[in-house]
Chain A
Amino acid sequence: DIQMTQSPSTLSASVGDRVTITCRASQSISNWVAWYQQKPGKAPKLLIFRASTLESGVPSRFSGSGSGTEFSLTISRLQPDDFATYYCQHYNTNSLFTFGPGTKVDVK
């Protein structure tokens, strides 16, 4: 089974910072990687799918990139509403989903 890891597990940042979260797969995978934002007590919100496609309605300060075993989510200028936990997710060729362990972005 493909394992997904994320780094860092916690990221302390300030409003206006550029933030990058990395998701690594245990072996080379397709670009069927998605990113979600989750706030406490709420359902996850889809931000990015197919590694780099921005979901409708998501601010353009969010972007995704990567290939092979390493994928990343970047927030170009962190806003107060962006403090949350972020998860990557992979969809494999057997139609199975796998989530990463999450990265919490908190206030520095």
Chain B
Amino acid sequence: QITLKESGPTLVRPTQTLTLTCTFSGFSLGSSGVGVGWVRQPPGKALEWLAVVYWDDNKRYSPSLKNRVSITTDTFKNSVVLTVTNMDPKDTATYFCARTVIPARQAFDFWGQGTLVTVSS
């Protein structure tokens, strides 16, 4: 059974750095083609892709947030960490992590439940 779960702060102050962790089970980030990405959704708005890291440590970032976002894996590839610097109230959103497999799907087939992050002073 594949599961993913996001964890991290629910409230962040403006200008602070957000750090979220995606802990997953049921698959291995060491398997060829597997990736874990982050997607966010401001309240009442559309999905926005942020970043993805693949089994070979290849990383890709959304051009619109590239300078502020970083994605890493832990030593044992059991979790994926997203950091977003210089947080602003516009970054208030539910943040999801999700699995992708390339070239099989090029889509996110399993998702975490999401975690709401509010940016406010």
Contact = CB atoms under 8 A, between A and B. Distances in A.
Interface residues of A, number: 24
A95 interface: yes
Interface string A86-108: 01010100111111111000000
A96 B106 contact: no
Interface residues of B, number: 24
Contacts of B105: 34, 46, 49-50
A38 to B, nearest CB: 8
B106 A99 contact: no
A34 B62 contact: no
Interface in B6-51: 37, 39, 46-49
A82 interface: no
Contacts, number: 66
Contacts of B96: 43-44
Contacts of B48: 99
Nearest to A55: B109
Contacts of B114: 43
Contact of B47 (A1, A55, A87): A87
Interface string A44-79: 111001100001000000000000000000000000
B60 A96 contact: yes
Nearest to A1: B63
B55 interface: no
Interface in B50-86: 52, 54, 58, 60, 62-63
A102 B93 CA distance: 16
Contacts of B60: 94-96
A32 B49 CA distance: 15
A43 B52 contact: no
B74 to A, nearest CB: 22
Interface in A25-44: 32, 34, 36, 38, 43-44
